[in-house]
Amino acid sequence: MKRKSKFIVLSIGLIFMLSACWDARNIDDLYLVFAIGIDISKDSEDQYLVTIVSPTVDPEAQESKIEISSVSNTLRNAQDNIQNKSSRRITFNNTKMFILGEDVAKQGIRRHLDTLVRDPESRGTIRMIVTEGRATDLMNIEPKFAPLVSLYLFDLVHNSFFTSTVPFTTVREFNNDLHTDGIEPTVPYLKYGNTKEEQIVNSTAIFEKDKMIGTLTHDESVAFALLKARARDGFLTSHLPDSESDYVTIRKLGGKNRIIAKVVDDNIFIDHYITIDAAITEQTSPLPLDQDVIRRLEKVFAYQVKLMCEEIVNKLQNDFKVDSIGYGKNVRAYHPNYFDGEKWNETFQDVDINIVTKINIVSIGTIE
C-alpha cells in the first residue's frame, strides 16, 4: 500500500513538472530582444552606446518594434540601464544578432564578448556582424522585406554564408578562435551600397585577437572561404580555352581540403590541397564540351583558384600578418616543438605555403 501511495505521489509530481514551468512568463509581459548593437559613445571613448531592438506583440501598438538605448562603461551595465527604462522584463534568450560598429570592432571587443559568453540568458549561437559606420544607424533602418532589421540581417548573413562569400561567425565560434592558439577570428562585414537602404554582406572583417585590423573584399572573401573549407556553394567564371570573348561558368558542388605541415631543416612548410567538384552552369560558345575541352577547362579553373588563394595567403602573411585560416592549429597538432602560440603570427609570416588545386567537372548540365 505504501509503495502504491508513493507511486501515485511521484506520478502526480511528474505530471506537474511536465505540464508547466515554475518560472514561465507570459510573452505579453516580455520584450524579446532580437538584436544588440554597440558603438563607442560620441561623448567619450570610455563609454559605449548599447541599443536593443524588440518586436512589439501588442496588436494595438503603433510601431512594429521597440528600440531602447543606453550609454554606459560596460555592456552589462548598459543592459541593466535599458531594463530600468522598460515597462516589461527584457530577455535575451531570443537574441539573433550582435552588431558591432566599426569603431568598437577596431578598439577591441573582448570585454563585450565576455558579457555575452558569461550571461546564462545569452546564447552562444548569436550571430556576429561588423557594420560600416555605427551599429545604431543600421538598427534604425526600416527594411522593405522584413518587419525588423534584425531578422533581415539574420537572413542576409545566412544567405551570404551559403553562397560562400562570408564566414559564419557566432559568439561561441569567435570566443573559441580568440582563445585558441594558431588561428585568429573573422566576422562578416556589412557595407552600404549607393544608399543607406542598400546593405551588402559580402566582405570579411579580419581580426588580430579581439581587434579588427582590416577587411577582405567580395572576391577575396570567396577565396578565403575556399581556404577555410567553408565554401558550400559559389560560382566561378573564366574564358574558354583559346577564346577571349566566350565564357564558361562552373558551380561548386562539393570538394575537400587537406593541410599537411612538415618541418625540413627546422623550417616549416605547408601544403594546402584544395579539391573542388563542379558543374558547368553556363557556356556562351557553341563549342562542343568533349572530354578534351573539359580537361582543359579543369586546368584553367584550377589555376584561377590557385592564384586567388595565393593572393589571400600573401595578404594574410604580408599585410595583415595574422593566421586567419588556422595553419597554426595543424602545426601545433603535428609539430608541437615548432609551435609557439604567443609568437605564431610572427612565425606565420615566413612559412612557405604551397597551394595545390584540383577541379573535377562532374556535370555539364542539361542540354537539348
Tens-digit pLDDT profile for residues 189-228: 999 988 877 888 889 999 999 999 999 999 999 999 999 9
C-alpha 362, offset from chain centre: 29
Which pTM does this prediction carry? 0.86
Tens-digit pLDDT profile for residues 2-43: 455 544 444 444 444 444 454 545 555 667 788 899 999 999
* Residue 365: partners with Cβ closer than 8 Å, 6 or more residues away: 279, 280, 281
Residue 268 backbone dihedrals phi, psi, to 5 degrees: -90, 130
Q: Identify whether the C-beta of residue 221 lies closer than 8 Å to the C-beta of residue 330.
A: no
Q: Identify whether the C-beta of residue 45 lies closer than 8 Å to the C-beta of residue 106.
A: no
Domains of the chain: 23-216 (no CATH), 229-363 (3.30.300.210)
Least confident interval from 150-154, 211-215, 260-264, 292-296: 150-154
